[in-house]
Amino acid sequence: METNITVDTKGMACPMPIVKAKKALDGLQSGQIMEVLSTDKGSVNDFQAWVKQTKHELIKHEEENGVYKFYVRKI
């Protein structure tokens, strides 16, 4: 998937992945896609709740070797 920005929050505990993602997303144009990398298991629930609350679109999330990847489209 082609992304406009990647935010690496590996090693950070919540709420830092969400804080970093929000800051990065603020700099994107509507329709652009952000990839967030996280190693925090709690970030799965956090991202789903955050995206629902902010009305952005969580295109997909996946886990690969302990790294969670989230793809969020800015609305």
- What is the structure's pLDDT at 48? 94
What string of DSSP letters covers 32-48? -EEEEEE--TTHHHHHH
Active site residue 73: no
Q: Residue 69 pLDDT more than 90?
A: yes
Which of 47, 2, 60 minimizes the C-alpha distance to 21? 47
Q: Residue 1 pLDDT more than 90?
A: no
Q: Which of 4, 5, 8, 14 is catalytic?
A: 14
Asked if 34 contacts 21 with a C-beta cutoff of 8 angstroms, the reply is yes
Asked if 73 contacts 59 with a C-beta cutoff of 8 angstroms, the reply is yes
Domain encompassing residue 33: 5-73
Asked if 39 contacts 16 with a C-beta cutoff of 8 angstroms, the reply is no
Residue 39, domain CATH? 3.30.110.40
Q: Give the pLDDT confidence of 27-52 residue by residue, as tens digits.
A: 999 999 999 999 999 999 999 999 99
Q: Residue 64 pLDDT more than 90?
A: yes
- Per the structure, the count of domains in the chain is 1
Q: Residue 72 pLDDT more than 90?
A: yes
